[in-house]
């Protein structure tokens, strides 16, 4: 038998039983469609996250923590931990690991001279009241050098970033803007905003009140007002913002230096800083490319600081995605299994109906192999069409879902994102998988068909 004859014969056999063939193919279409939609959703999420990280050059950043600062419990290599381990083995280690220098401007200069480091800026944030018109909100202000405000790191929804480090300008997030009563983004640009910093005022400081101070009362604090102009508005990050930008208001560096303020972000800092200046808590390093991350990190750790690089975390994120992919694929697989049972059912039914036909074919010279192949071809034709149209269905449905999600998220100010991703291997794989699944489903029916005894099949009396 020639290949073309198998194709011909399977098409005409399937065409004879149009309705059943269509229903069976439809089962495969739904199965493959579900699987494709699920996997493309998983891939879409993953692509969005990694694209976003890459676009924002987030893999180019290393966060350096001073010895004691560990607000989020980031892992990193702790020099103290090393020393403790060293102590149990060899007490001489202790001498080597002296307390690292505070993260001050001198250290920043040293960090800047490491090979591969593009720039370094301290992560300075301070609490302040932000006020426009009548509304007043307490927020953390982040000091961001103009060069970073203008980089890809900062995605602006409206306006521009400040160009000099000396302007009395600020960039504000749209959510904070809304909270201070400025709803319209376009008219907000150019508006004046008053920022009131907190300063120490020892005129009525009483050390005996320490206990109540810890609870935030009777603090020796006064306010100082500054006026800023809104020049830019940032959008909200789609994915939890794991960037060096951790604030709703950004002001230039030079301007910040001229302001009186308490540069603390928690009570611990407050007390520490009153004892002695231990420098910055956190410093951000930007390397020239992600390739430098490990080398720079090692250098920084040798200097005695703890580090955090998102690229390390990304491996964990990837594992998380793999897990998500597996769950999504498992849901899709259920549909595939059902479709596969449908194929099996159809083909077994077909044997029963074509029992005497199989007998006839054998009587005129068909071998078991011929019969097997005829049935295999029919299953794979079902699989092929199920795969092709299933892919199309998955594509169309996920496209629709994508539009609907984006329609609702656009109302909340989230930019348009493709939540589904169709890499070429998914398209090819879906069709191939459908054919393979139908071939596997076709094994039992084909073997059974080949085993039909022509003598029994042809006996009519």
Partner 1 sequence: MTKAPIIQAQKLTKVYSSGKIEVTALKDVDLAVGKGTFIGVAGSSGSGKSTLMNLLGGLDSPTSGSIEFEGELISRKDKNELARYRRHDVGMIFQSFNLIPFFSAVENVSLPLLFAGVSKKERREQASVFLDRVGLSSRKEHRPSELSGGEQQRVAIARALVNSPKIILADEPTGNLDSQTSSEIVGLLATINREQGLTVIMVSHEEALLKEHCDEIIRLFDGEVKVKEQLK
Ligand X SMILES: Nc1ncnc2c1ncn2[C@@H]1O[C@H](COP(=O)(O)OP(=O)(O)O)[C@@H](O)[C@H]1O
CA-nearest of 322, 453, 437 to 384 is 437
**Least distance in Å: CB of 451 to partner 1?**
10
Single out the segment in contact with partner 1 by CB under 8 A; choices: 38-46, 158-166, 296-304, 363-371. 363-371
359 binds, among ligand X, partner 1, none (CB under 5 to 8 A by kind): partner 1
Examine residue 456 and tell whether it contacts ligand X (CB under 6 A): yes
Of the residues 244, 359, 386, 390, which one makes contact with partner 1 according to CB under 8 A: 359
Please, which residue, 172 or 358, has the CB nearer to partner 1? 358
Q: 368-411 and 310-353 are packed helices; what angle lies between their axes, rounded to 10 degrees?
A: 140
Of the residues 4, 19, 72, 352, which one makes contact with partner 1 according to CB under 8 A: 4
227 binds, among ligand X, partner 1, none (CB under 5 to 8 A by kind): none
353 binds, among ligand X, partner 1, none (CB under 5 to 8 A by kind): none
Name the one residue in this structure whose structure tokens are 């059943």: 20
Residues 396-455 that bind ligand X (CB under 6 A): 455
Q: Are 366 and 450 in contact (CB under 8 A)?
A: no
CA-nearest of 342, 394, 444 to 22 is 342
Pattern 71-90, partner 1, x by CB under 8 A: --------------------
Of the residues 43, 286, 362, 373, which one makes contact with partner 1 according to CB under 8 A: 362
CA 175/CA 158 separation, integer angstroms: 13
Examine residue 360 and tell whether it contacts partner 1 (CB under 8 A): yes
**Least distance in Å: CB of 435 to partner 1?**
24
Give the total residue count for the chain.
461
Examine residue 363 and tell whether it contacts ligand X (CB under 6 A): no
- What does 281-349 look like in DSSP terms, one character per residue? SEEEEEESSGGGHHHHHHHHHHTT-EEEEHHHHHHHHHHHHHHHHHHHHHHHHHHHHHHHHHHHHHHHH
* Beta-ladder partners of 308: 63
Of the residues 104, 312, 368, 418, which one makes contact with partner 1 according to CB under 8 A: 368
Q: Are 130 and 249 in contact (CB under 8 A)?
A: yes
Please, which residue, 429 or 454, has the CB nearer to partner 1? 454
Sign for the CA dihedral angle at 263, 118, 156, 42 comes to negative
Q: Are 198 and 222 in contact (CB under 8 A)?
A: yes
Please report, as ranges, the residues that interact with ligand X according to CB under 6 A. 455-456
Please report, as ranges, the residues that interact with partner 1 according to CB under 8 A. 1-2, 4-5, 8-9, 12, 16, 356-357, 359-370, 453-455, 458-461
């Amino acid at each position: 038998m020639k290949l073309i004859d198998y194709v011909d014969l399977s098409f005409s056999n399937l065409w004879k039983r149009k309705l059943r063939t269509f229903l069976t193919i439809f089962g495969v279409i739904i199965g493959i469609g579900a699987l494709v939609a699920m996997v493309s959703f998983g891939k879409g999420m993953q692509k969005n996250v990694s694209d976003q990280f890459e676009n924002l050059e987030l893999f180019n950043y290393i966060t350096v923590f001073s010895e004691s600062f560990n607000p989020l419990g980031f892992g990193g290599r702790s020099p103290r931990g090393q020393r403790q381990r060293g102590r149990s083995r060899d007490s001489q280690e202790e001498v080597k690991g002296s307390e690292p220098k505070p993260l001050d401007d001198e250290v920043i200069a040293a960090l800047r001279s490491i090979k591969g480091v593009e720039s370094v800026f301290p992560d300075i944030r301070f609490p302040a009241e932000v006020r426009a018109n009548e509304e007043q909100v307490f927020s953390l202000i982040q000091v961001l050098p103009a060069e970073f405000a203008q980089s890809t790191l900062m995605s602006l929804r409206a306006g521009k970033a400040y160009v000099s480090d000396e302007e009395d300008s600020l960039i504000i997030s749209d959510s904070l803007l809304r909270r201070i009563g400025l709803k319209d983004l376009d008219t907000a640009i150019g508006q004046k905003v008053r920022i009131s910093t907190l300063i120490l005022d020892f005129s009525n400081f009483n050390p005996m009140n320490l206990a109540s101070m810890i609870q935030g009362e009777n603090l020796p604090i006064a306010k100082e007002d500054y006026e800023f102009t809104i020049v830019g508005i940032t959008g909200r990050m789609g994915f939890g913002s794991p960037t060096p930008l951790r604030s709703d208001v950004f002001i230039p560096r030079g301007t910040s230096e001229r302001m009186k303020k308490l540069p603390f972000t928690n009570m611990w800092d407050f007390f520490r800083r009153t004892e002695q200046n231990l420098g910055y808590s956190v410093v951000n390093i930007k390397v020239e490319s992600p390739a430098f991350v490990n080398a720079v990190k090692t250098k920084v750790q040798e200097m005695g600081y703890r580090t955090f690089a998102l690229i390390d975390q990304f491996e964990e994120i990837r594992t998380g995605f793999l897990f998500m992919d597996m769950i999504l694929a498992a849901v899709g697989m259920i549909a595939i299994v059902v479709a596969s049972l449908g194929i099996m059912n159809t083909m077994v039914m077909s044997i029963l109906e074509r029992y005497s036909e199989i007998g006839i074919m054998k009587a005129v010279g068909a071998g078991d192999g011929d019969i097997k192949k005829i049935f295999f071809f029919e299953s794979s034709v079902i699989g092929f069409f199920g795969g092709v149209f299933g892919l199309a269905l998955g594509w169309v449905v996920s496209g629709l879902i994508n539009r609907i999600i984006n329609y609702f998220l656009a109302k909340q100010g989230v930019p348009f994102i493709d939540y589904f991703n169709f890499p070429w291997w998914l398209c090819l794989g879906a069709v191939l998988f459908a054919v393979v699944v139908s071939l596997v489903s076709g094994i039992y029916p084909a073997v059974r068909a080949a085993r039909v005894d022509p003598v029994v099949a042809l006996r009519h009396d």
